[in-house]
Amino acid sequence: MRQSQIADLWWKNAVVYCLDIETYADGNGDGIGDFRGAIQHIDHIERLGVTCIWLMPFFPTPDRDDGYDIVDFYSVDSRLGTLGDFVEFMQVARDRGIRVIADLVVNHTSDQHPWFKDARSSPDSTYRDWYIWSDKPEPDDPKGVVFPDQEHSLWQWDDEAGQYFFHRFYRFQPDLNTSNPEVRDEIVRILGFWMQLGLSGFRVDAVPFLVEDVTPKDGDLPDPHEFFEALRAFMNRRDGSAILLGEVNLPYKDLLRFFGSDGLGNEITMCFDFIGMQRSYLSLVRHDARPLADALRERPDPPKDCHWATFLRNHDELTLDKLTDKEREEVFEAFAPDEGMRLYGRGIRRRLPTMLGGDTRRIKMAYSLLFAQPGTPVLFYGEEIGMGENLDIEGRAAVRTPMQWTPNLNGGFSTASPDKVRTPMPKGDYGPEKVNVSSQRRDPDSLLHWMTSLIEQYRECPELAWGDYEVLDVEDEAVLAHRADLDGETVVTAHNFADRDATVTVTLKGCDSSRVLTDIIVEGTLQLTDDGEATIKLSPYGCRWFRVSTPETAPAEADGAT
Ligand code: MG
C-alpha cells in the first residue's frame, strides 16, 4: 500500500474521538463547556494520537434533547461560543493535523425552528411541506417509538396547524420531509456550508429513520437511497476525501444497503458495527471469545471505499437490542444489576470501566481488542482515562458528564463555582480526584498511557485497519486470535477473555520457520515451526499483538510496557 493511497483514504485507519463541546472544557468560566475551552485542550487530543474529532451538535438549540433539537443549522449556540470560535477551533485542529467531522442532525428540527413555526402557522406556508402532516394519525408501529418511556405515538396533534405532525423522536422534534426536493436542497446547503468552514465529513444521526416512508402518499416517494447517493456525490465533488459516518443499527444484511446498492459503495462511507459491539459485551460477560469471533466471521465485507467503524461505548445508552432476550438478560445481570442502570429495557447507561468492575486488566484488554479488530475505532471522550458515569443524572445523560482534567475544582473542567456546572461529575472511585488526565499523564501504568501506546501501534499497523482478516481457529474458547494481511505483511493478535492463563497454538498459512513473531505491545519473540505454527501464551485477560517477519527485518521488542 502506497503512503499516498493511505493518505487519500485517511478514514480507513483513523482514530475518531467524539466529544461534546458543552461538557469538554469551559474556557470562559461560566460553567458551560465552549469552543475556547476545547481549543485549550487540543494538545491532549493530539498526544493521544487521535486523527479525527467528531463534534456532537453545537448548533443553536432550546436544548431539550442535548442539542439534537436544532433551531438554526448555520450557526453556533451562543453558550458554546461564536462562529469565529468555531473557525479558530478548526484552524488549531488543522495545525495539529487533526480532521474534524460533526453531527448532521437532519432527521428533524426543534419545534422552535423558524421553518416549523412558519409551517404550522398556515397550510399555505412555504415550509408546510417541509414537515410531515396528516389529518388523522396513521396507525403506530409500537416498535417504532424511539423513547417508549416518554412517547407513545409517532404523531402529535398541533392546535395551530390543525393537523397531526410526524415525529420519530420526541414530540418537540418534528421530522423533516426528506422526500421534498426543497428539503434535500437545504440539507445539501448545510453540508456545503460546514465543509467550506473546514469539516471533513459528517456523522449522520438516525440513518434508517432519515429516509423512511411514513407519509400517507408514499407512492410518490423517490428511492430513499438516492438521497444518500446524492449527498455523498455532492460531498465528494467538494472534497474527495470527505466522509459520511452513519448510525445504522440494523442486521448486517439490511445494513449493507446503506453503503450503496449493488455493492457500489456510493452512499454511507462508514457504518458503526453495532452487532460486533454487542457481541463483544456478550463475550466479556461469558469469558468466552466465541460470540465476538462469530460476529467477525459473519460480518460481510463492506464495498470498496467503505469501512466499518468499531466502538465499545458512545454517547447513548449501550444498546443491546441485537442480542436475544436471554443474552441481553445475561449482560444486564452482570453489567447492570440494578434497574436504575438500565434504559428502555434494551440498554445500559453506564461506561465500560464501571461495568467491568474497575478491573484494569480487563479494561485494557477490551481496548486492545477495539484497536486490533478490523475497522476504524471510535472513542467517546473520557474513555482514554476510564471515566465512569453518574447515575444520579437522568437517562442517557448519565455518561455525558464533564471531562475530568485535574483532581481539583470541578475536575479542571471549569473555574465557575460548582453550582454553575450543570452536569455533576461522579463522586467516589470515579470522581475527578481518582480519575483525571493530569494524574494519568504522570503514571506510566495508567490507562491513558496504555491507550496512547495502543493507538501508536494501531497507526503503525495498517494491516489491522485495512487488511484482509481471518479469525484463527484456536483450542481455547476464551481466546480470540486473528491475523490481518496487507501487501505481504502480517500482524497477528490474541486476546484472552478469561481470568486465567491461556495457551493457544495458531497456524499461519503461508508462513514457515523462516519467520518470527515479535510482540509489539508487551514483550517476547516467538519462533514459527516449519508448518507455520506458533504457541502463544496469554496471562489472565491478557492481550498480545505480533508482527510477523524474518528475524533480520523484525522490529525491536517492546520494553515490557504493561
Ligand atoms: Mg463557557
Task: Render pLDDT for 521-553 as a digit per residue (tens, 0 to 9).
Answer: 988 899 999 999 999 999 999 999 999 999 999
Task: Render pLDDT for 405-419 as a digit per residue (tens, 0 to 9).
Answer: 999 999 999 999 999
| Residue 410: predicted pLDDT | 98
Which of the residues 34, 66, 205, 485 is marked catalytic? 205
36 Cα to the center of ligand 1, angstroms? 8
37 Cα to the center of ligand 1, angstroms? 7
78 Cα to the center of ligand 1, angstroms? 10
Where b means 16+ CB within 10 Å and e means fewer, 328-340 reads bebbbebbbeeee
pLDDT over 70 percentage in the chain? 94
Mean pLDDT (the chain) is 92
Q: Residue range 115-126: average pLDDT?
A: 97
560: pLDDT strictly greater than 70: no
Amino acid letter for position 535: T
Q: How confident is the model at residue 65 (pLDDT cuts 50, 70, 90)?
A: confident
Q: How confident is the model at residue 223 (pLDDT cuts 50, 70, 90)?
A: low
Task: Render pLDDT for 312-332 as a digit per residue (tens, 0 to 9).
Answer: 999 999 999 999 999 999 999
Q: Are strands 342-343 and 347-348 parallel, antiparallel or unpaired?
A: antiparallel
Which H or E run includes 536?
Answer: strand 533-538
499 is an active site residue: no
Where b means 16+ CB within 10 Å and e means fewer, 49-66 reads bbbbbbbbbbbbbeeebb
425 Cα to the center of ligand 1, angstroms? 17
Which of the residues 20, 247, 317, 383 is marked catalytic? 247
> CA 379, 383, 388, 392 torsion: positive or negative?
negative
Q: Residue range 458-486: average pLDDT?
A: 95
| Residue 327: predicted pLDDT | 98
68 Cα to the center of ligand 1, angstroms? 19
Q: How confident is the model at residue 49 (pLDDT cuts 50, 70, 90)?
A: very high
Beta strand extents in 268-330 (DSSP E only): 270-272, 307-310, 318-319
| Residue 561: predicted pLDDT | 42
Where b means 16+ CB within 10 Å and e means fewer, 532-556 reads bbbebebbbbbbbbbbbbeeeebee
More confident residue, 344 or 289: 289
Quote the pTM value: 0.94
205 is an active site residue: yes
The cell for 486 is 496487507
562: pLDDT strictly greater than 50: no
34 Cα to the center of ligand 1, angstroms? 5
